[in-house]
Structure 1
């Protein structure tokens, strides 16, 4: 069967019209070949277009169908379609968020499985996610306020610092710097003197350090020797010796032994004192009358005799 040119032309025109209708509906968010469910949400302002996607966890599951301003409530009503395979409850939320720093806005369905399942035509609660730019703007606003306060404080500090720098009195920085400079010069002079002193006495200091090193070595040797000494035995012997001395002193105190008797016998003391007195008298008499005790004659003359009182005793004829 031969198809005429007119029929072919008609078929092409009808196909073009159908394709145009499909494209127009697709651009408006309608897919003629899919069965989608329609839901509604309301926002305080409109930041969407019909080309804005509807996502779940970043996946595109629907499109914006219509955006209408409600004159009664003053809110923007948005109708959107999602795939009928998507199940979520009425407790879910529709979130308005930005798709990027330079991109547009989109709707995200925050799915909740609690409660009754949402049905096509239901209103879903909405919320707006604050974007990064808004956060940064608010942060920069707070930072700018703090920066203004900081700059004001810095300006006051610089003014006060400038006053201190220009002040030439005792409280000024110039005077403090000059005094510090003089102190540094004095310290420099002292350091030169110390360096000169060390240089002039280098050999003496070396000798002192050498002697100190030798002394430290000797002390180390002495310390090692002391480690080898059995101090416990030495202390034990010293304790025994002290015990013996205490016993001896106790016996002397009690008048025991020769030393104790000498110290405790009063009669012996009196006899010794009397003997000492007689000895003293004898020595005194020998000084005064030496002839009584020493007789010396070259010719055999008989020596004179004396009594106890010192009188000469004459022999009887």
Structure 2
């Protein structure tokens, strides 16, 4: 029987359609030649989960997501159909949640329980709402980003205010200030120079001083020892007795001065009695008068000795007038 060209084209089209359907189902994770175990899970939010995304247990892929349909018209829950690609025992108290890496699509992660009874095909696994690693990072980063945005806004306002403050004159002043700082730093570098700087010279002087101290260490030690000996002698000396003797002497001096100031005793009477003072003054004046008269008499005897001693056979000569005041000693002339 000879097939026509139209029949050949029809058969080829049918085979192509079958291969296309089988390949599409294979890419979706369906088993083509055996019955696949099916589990169901209900989530209130599936996030970025899509069909054919993996289902993992302890990081190992064990199935794929087949379909996702709403449970009711309000879409309060979403039923996810999971087709297992491996024969694994999943305890009934296991929990499924949606997780996702930093880079890549979301997947369903199953945390195994410890029950001895396992889920069968067609059972519904328990779920929990877990935002996953990316959601946790977003939740932690979002407040930081908000604060960064607020800081940037404040920085913009600050920069604007600084632009208003820094007029051309202020900018020139800032340039001058920076230039002065550069000059000052150069001077500071010169001062800190080890060889020619003031600090280097000061350190050299300090080294000389410390060298002299080290060279005279024995003399310094001897001086300190002498000071220790002197202080030891002072500590052992009878300072209290000396101080007591000095205090007694001071007390006696006070008593003597007090007796001078009082009207008791000879010195006190002489110092405080006005009558005695007047009598002594009169006596002094009289003594001065007697001394003056005596001096005049002695001068008159020297000047006119013949007035007092006269031995003459034929009569005396003119004796002259008597003196009334002392004669100056540098012009005294004795007449013969």
TM-score by length of 1: 0.46
- Is the strand fraction higher in 1 or 2? 1
TM-score by length of 2: 0.44
